Structure 1
């Protein structure tokens, strides 16, 4: 198994970030088992989007593309995608929250927040997603199981200043996550509790991976919630964080990426 690089990750604590140097392995050569076991996996996925900076085109084309991919990966009856986030120098100028997130986290502390905030309340894009998939808010509310599968795609230069690293969920314990409150994320009005991750104790190590020089036909799918795992008391989140690639000066080139979240329902 090769090493991508040695880098600093900022673990979140109650009093502020704690920087820790870690080895980030090359996920391409690691022989990882897939998202259901380790929380994430590299997938081949060719999109019909021709301009990743065109939010209307991304919503019209890529949301449905990822819904189809998420259904096939999870076996869910329905997958709903209502929005996306672009991170680039242009979007950072619009709002600082759209910078690469350089502390270890997972996106939601509660599956109820995911469902309620996205689909049980009126939110931009939610009605479109429900209608596109022929389901109702009652279907969402009554689903027997909910899995949140996210997709991260590089849409800029293959070599970037702040790639994304993923932690093998098998090396994390449930009690290493704790909620942190997020208010009005990105100026969208979204308010929720994210999950910060404590640094591991001396008796254990987190295993970190990244995928060097991701190409346009590649993306990383990763799990950030699963009600079945929650019910069994197992790790249901996948810690992840942007990190500085020491071979790339910051901003030269800057990261350009897009991420989506699929709410996968088992009806």
Structure 2
């Protein structure tokens, strides 16, 4: 059973700044590499909004991928070193596929990439030579266009048959060291997101152009976070669902500065996997 408005209102919360897309006339565009001379890496402008972010722990067992668009699961990985690429692909990928299948009922789950983020102060994401940084802007990883396109990109001749049935893109997010207090992840309750809040944005790679959603501010948005996440916990995030029957389709999210975090907090280290989940019905 999903969380009611009264239950959400009763949750403890912090107030923090979340960065939303400001009004603009052109399509937002972000380059993943050094763009051509005279072209900005990111043409979007973001505006800060101070909002309440509810602590989801008291009702974490009630969170649902099909309602709020997120779920918290206990999961002790057999991986000892998340910086070991072989261990990730041989051990963690199969673990995550089983985890998502169990949580969603999907008949088939495929992990198709991962990103490790390690925060460095005063460093922008995608800075050359630096690790990937937490993203302090409200966004969603896939759109109505790029979700199906990812299936076509990855699965070739299988794609047409798979796209005739429901599928979703589920992210598996966890801290590499914990308890995580620095730059935690805030997730927007999918039920509070109107489709017109989502702005398709180009993500330009050297060999292709993907598409994500930037997000316009809407005072109706409800935000959750799970404080002090442990390494044996994972957040599942719904980034896309092909179903249009009222269930959650998109759960925007962002890193944020927790004002209650101690001054000497350890910088965030986290890993996210992206999975395709295919359903029989």
Bin of the TM-score, shorter chain as denominator length: 0.7 to 0.9
Q: Tell me the distance in 2 between the aligned counterparts of 1:261 and 1:12.
A: 24
Alignment-derived partner of residue 35 in structure 2? none
1:247 Cα deviation after fit:
3.2
Q: Name the stretch that deviates more: 27-36 or 51-60.
A: 27-36
Structure 2 residue 108 is the aligned partner of structure 1 residue 78? yes
Q: 1:11 to 1:95 in 2, by over 3 A?
A: farther
Structure 1 runs of 4+ aligned residues shifted over 6 Å read 90-93
> CA-atom RMSD, angstroms?
2.5
1:87-106 aligned within 5 A: 87-89=117-119, 98-106=132-140
Q: 1:33 to 1:261 in 2, by over 3 A?
A: same
Partner of residue 149 from structure 1, selected from 166, 170, 182:
170
Kept after mapping to 1: 8 A contact 2:175/2:230:
yes
Q: Name the stretch that deviates more: 92-101 or 57-66.
A: 92-101
Structure 2 residue 276 is the aligned partner of structure 1 residue 263? yes
Structure 1 gaps of 5+ residues are 127-135
- When normalised by structure 2's length, the TM-score is 0.78
- When normalised by structure 1's length, the TM-score is 0.82
Partner of residue 6 from structure 1, selected from 15, 27, 34:
15
Kept after mapping to 1: 8 A contact 2:177/2:230:
no
- 1:22-77 alpha-carbon deviations (Å, 9 max, x no partner): 11111011464411111001111111111011122112111111111111222121
Partner of residue 48 from structure 1, selected from 74, 78, 83:
78
1:41-190 aligned within 5 A: 41-89=71-119, 98-110=132-144, 112-117=145-150, 119-121=151-153, 137-143=156-162, 144-184=165-205
**SS class of match (2:66):** helix
Q: Tell me the distance in 2 between the aligned counterparts of 1:55 and 1:160.
A: 25
Q: 1:234 to 1:265 in 2, by over 3 A?
A: closer
1:235 Cα deviation after fit:
5.2
**SS class of match (1:35):** coil
Structure 2 residue 227 is the aligned partner of structure 1 residue 225? no
Q: 1:96 to 1:233 in 2, by over 3 A?
A: farther
How many matched pairs?
A: 244
- 1:212-234 alpha-carbon deviations (Å, 9 max, x no partner): 111121111111111112xx477
Kept after mapping to 1: 8 A contact 2:188/2:251:
yes
Kept after mapping to 2: 8 A contact 1:79/1:264:
yes
Structure 2 gaps of 5+ residues are 1-9, 25-44
Q: Tell me the distance in 2 between the aligned counterparts of 1:44 and 1:212.
A: 14
Structure 2 residue 39 is the aligned partner of structure 1 residue 24? no
Q: Name the stretch that deviates more: 219-228 or 12-21.
A: 12-21
Kept after mapping to 1: 8 A contact 2:76/2:232:
yes
Kept after mapping to 2: 8 A contact 1:174/1:235:
no
1:139 Cα deviation after fit:
3.2
